[in-house]
Amino acid sequence: MTTDQKTAASQPTAALPIGVFDSGVGGLTVLRALKQALPHEDFLYLGDTARLPYGTKSGATVARYALQTTRVLVEQGVKLLVIACNTASSVALPGLAQAYPGLPVIGVIEPGARACCEHAPHGRIAVIATRGTVRGAAYQTAILRLRPQATIATRPTQLFVAMAEEGWVDGPEVEAVAERYLTPLMAEFPGGKPDCLVLGCTHFPVLAPAIRKVLPEGVCLVDSAETTAECVVKELAERGLQKPAGAPGDVLAGGKGEGRVRFFATDDPERFASVGEIFLGQPLSPGEVTLIDL
């Protein structure tokens, strides 16, 4: 990285976009929440689709990937970075803070952990995530740091990832899978009910309606995408980096003053677009996705 690039990264300005990266398309649920919370902001989204999934890689490898993807976004110019990947959030933050000391970096795990602690009056917290995230105990560590007496139960729900990417997000089949995953998890708590359930994978918010149908009444569902967006709003405000509504700059076609989003992928823009629109919640064409090589 050149001295000029380091300087640019250390001096973010309000006019710059927000950078978001993930191993693939799941992080688009985070981008969707960010767009809803900050409709006039610009975003750069990078999906490292050539090297997914991150969950099967070593921590050192994922940290290296995160540095490489961040370098691309920093070179484009960003004022804040969102790690929209649970695995990368658990291992990459220290390295990124060292490499880019002036760049605010927010992962998805800490906001989710804080939110579930706030919504768990009895400290009973259930977490569903990918196998890699559960194995790495990232949520357990973050929750216990905030609430040492918490009772935590976790369960890998890997099939949810494939179902989400196929667009199978509702219906009796989805609810049957959710019930099979969640029934034994709920049974680990007194009365068969935790205070809250954390969606510990960025794929899972699109399955939230089906998951809610099989949860016991009164269990709060914590969406890490929404809580991450709330954290970004707060961080921008504290640093004075909000882009003023109606400020000059890129806007989407139609002149509505909405921020512009640029998409990058490291492999197969067509699949990125076709699967990605499930998570983004709006049409996405391959022509909107720029193929890059890290």
Return the active site residues.
85, 201
Per-residue 3-state assignment (H helix, E strand, C coil) for 46-57: EECCCCCCHHHC
Q: What angle do CA 47, 51, 55 make, to 5 degrees?
A: 95
Q: What angle do CA 185, 52, 81 make, to 5 degrees?
A: 90
Q: Which two tokens stand for residue 150?
A: 């918490």
Half-sphere CA count of 158, side-chain side, radius 13 A = 8
Contacting residues for 221 by C-beta, under 8 A, at least 6 apart: 196, 197, 199, 208, 211, 212, 215
Please give the Cα distance from 283 to 273 (Å, whole number): 8
Residue 155: φ, ψ to 5°? -150, 130
